């Protein structure tokens, strides 16, 4: 079944990237508070562009590429973004969990691992894996176990190794003029 990847934008500035059925691109129901705030603050006027059509795996990959491309301006990114004409807001924790869950699901499918095999190897229930992949709250231990089986545990363990903000603050204390 064909799915699509779409971009919502205001004045040519993307504020949301999504995928799903074509109907989802035009649907206003089930959107995050950040998405609603952006749309409402712009008098409910925004553009919808369908950028890709294909199977679900292709769409998830393309969606992730567009999310990376527009990370600084979309409300499904990890930081608040600002533009001259649009004040975009930081997404909720739920939005972040949903994105990470999609990435876990995509990684599992790319590896050809079924949910029952992954949950068994990660020593969690299939229900817990479903929670992770659908962006629901779960334990950090369950999440790390899944990352380990998928081969991402080192990436996760080193997540804060590069701390630009913290490093800059330390440098400013050591070298006050630079």
pLDDT, tens only, 75-93: 874 333 333 333 444 556 7
Of the chain, the percentage scoring pLDDT greater than 90 comes to 44
129-138: average pLDDT: 92
Quick one: pLDDT at residue 79? 34
Quick one: pLDDT at residue 91? 57
What is the C-alpha separation between 123 and 103, in angstroms, rounded? 20
The larger pLDDT score, comparing residue 65 to residue 83, is at 65
Residue identified by tokens 């590896």 is 111
* pLDDT-based confidence at residue 128 (cuts at 50, 70, 90): very high
Could you give the dihedral angle defined by the CA atoms of residues 154, 156, 157 and 159, in that order, rounded to the nearest 10 degrees? 120
- Asked whether residue 16 carries a pLDDT value surpassing 80, the answer given is yes
Pull the structure tokens for residue 66: 């567009």
Quick one: pLDDT at residue 125? 96
Quick one: pLDDT at residue 44? 86
Q: How far is CA 126 from CA 40, 115, 119, 137, in A?
A: 38, 7, 5, 14
Quick one: pLDDT at residue 171? 63
Question: Where exactly does CATH 1.10.260.40 map onto the chain?
Answer: 93-157
12-21, 49-58, 113-122, 161-170: which range is least confident on average?
161-170
For domain 93-157, the question of CATH label 1.10.260.40 is answered with: yes
What is the C-alpha separation between 38 and 32, in angstroms, rounded? 10
Of the chain, the percentage scoring pLDDT greater than 70 comes to 81
Considering the entire predicted model, what is its pTM? 0.48
- Asked whether residue 51 carries a pLDDT value surpassing 60, the answer given is yes
Would you say 32 and 14 are in contact if contact means Cβ atoms under 8 Å apart?
A: no
What is the C-alpha separation between 50 and 163, in angstroms, rounded? 36
Pull the structure tokens for residue 157: 């363990």
Pull the structure tokens for residue 98: 């949903």
């Amino acid at each position: 079944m064909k799915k699509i990847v779409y971009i919502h934008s205001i004045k040519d500035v993307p504020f949301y990237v999504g995928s799903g059925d074509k109907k989802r691109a035009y649907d206003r129901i089930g959107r995050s508070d950040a998405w609603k705030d952006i749309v409402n603050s712009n008098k409910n006027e925004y553009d919808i562009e369908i950028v890709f059509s294909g199977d679900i795996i292709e769409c998830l990959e393309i969606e992730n590429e567009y999310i990376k491309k527009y990370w600084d301006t979309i409300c499904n990114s990890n930081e608040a973004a600002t533009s001259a004409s649009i004040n975009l807001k930081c997404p909720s924790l739920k939005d972040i969990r949903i994105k990470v869950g999609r990435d876990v699901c995509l990684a599992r499918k790319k590896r050809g691992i079924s949910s029952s095999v992954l949950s068994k190897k990660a020593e969690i229930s299939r229900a817990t894996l479903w929670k992770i992949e659908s962006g629901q709250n779960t334990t950090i231990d369950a999440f790390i176990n899944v990352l380990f089986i998928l081969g991402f545990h080192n990436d996760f363990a080193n997540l804060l190794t590069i701390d630009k903000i913290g490093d800059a603050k330390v440098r400013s204390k050591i070298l006050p003029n630079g």
